[in-house]
A and B are shown apart, each in its own frame.
Chain A
Amino acid sequence: EAQVTQNPRYLITVTGKKLTVTCSQNMNHEYMSWYRQDPGLGLRQIYYSMNVEVTDKGDVPEGYKVSRKEKRNFPLILESPSPNQTSLYFCASSFQGPRGEQYFGPGTRLTVT
């Protein structure tokens, strides 16, 4: 089954404790992206990647890092999480870049205390 998976689905952590949210897709898509969603708002893009070893900042990259060492994986790294990074995070992938149909993961709900 074609899908985007994220782990963990739920995470509660404390300020300053480094964490990684993994994202993996099995569709051989070149384009992958991370978004965050806060209550009542649409998605805001954090980082995106057009291909392996190519990453670019989205609208809200501060406090986040990403890497794209292989096509299927695109982990999101919070090196020193803060409470304002409490949010719902989505990973997405697409065959045709941002112009194509994006497939989204189920989301990761992160709480930073």
Chain B
Amino acid sequence: DAKTTQPPSMDCAEGRAANLPCNHSTISGNEYVYWYRQIHSQGPQYIIHGLKNNETNEMASLIITEDRKSSTLILPHATLRDTAVYYCIVPMDSNYQLIWGAGTKLIIKP
């Protein structure tokens, strides 16, 4: 089973910041949090990952709470092309393979 909990769907207005929450209360100390997205049925696309410090790249920012039990992915200026399913993933303990849940379907509205 996935080790993360995400809302099944969210809306966001074009041009606004999209904030996608993820709960990973059972995360252990050395596990990273990964975010990917999937547009329609295309191959998933890596967005960002982090351990405990906030991370930022050209696509998004990742804010991880101090207790590491939850995180938020921020798309600072959402566009229609950001409409996708966003997956928050924490690896399995035993072999570090990623376990994918159902993700959050983000719809950006004009």
Please report the number of residue pairs spanning A and B whose Cβ atoms sit closer than 8 angstroms: 52
* Neighbour of A43 across the interface among B42, B44, B45, B96, CB < 8 A: B44
SS class, residues of chain B in contact with chain A: loop
27 contacts between A and B (CB under 8 A): A33-B97, A35-B100, A37-B41, A40-B102, A41-B102, A42-B100, A43-B44, A43-B100, A45-B98, A56-B95, A58-B97, A59-B99, A90-B43, A92-B44, A98-B91, A98-B95, A98-B97, A99-B91, A99-B96, A101-B46, A101-B49, A102-B36, A102-B44, A102-B46, A104-B44, A105-B43, A107-B42
B41 with A88: CB separation less than 8 A: yes
Q: Does A61 contact B (CB under 8 A)?
A: no
Taken together as a complex, chains A and B put the C-alpha atoms of A28 and B96 apart, in Å, by 21
A104 with B96: CB separation less than 8 A: no
Interface size class of A (residues with CB under 8 A): 20 to 34
| Residues of chain A with a CB closer than 8 A to B96's CB | 97-99
Residues 1-60 of A at the B interface (beta carbon under 8 Å): 4, 33, 35, 37, 40-45, 48, 56, 58-59
| Residues of chain B with a CB closer than 8 A to A104's CB | 43-45
Known: A40-B102, A99-B32. A45 touches B97 (CB 8 A): yes
| Nearest CB of B to A56, in Å | 7
| Nearest CB of A to B3, in Å | 12
Q: Does A64 contact B (CB under 8 A)?
A: no
The 0/1 profile, CB within 8 Å of A marked 1, for residues 64-81 of chain B is 000000000000000000
Closest to B101 in A: A42
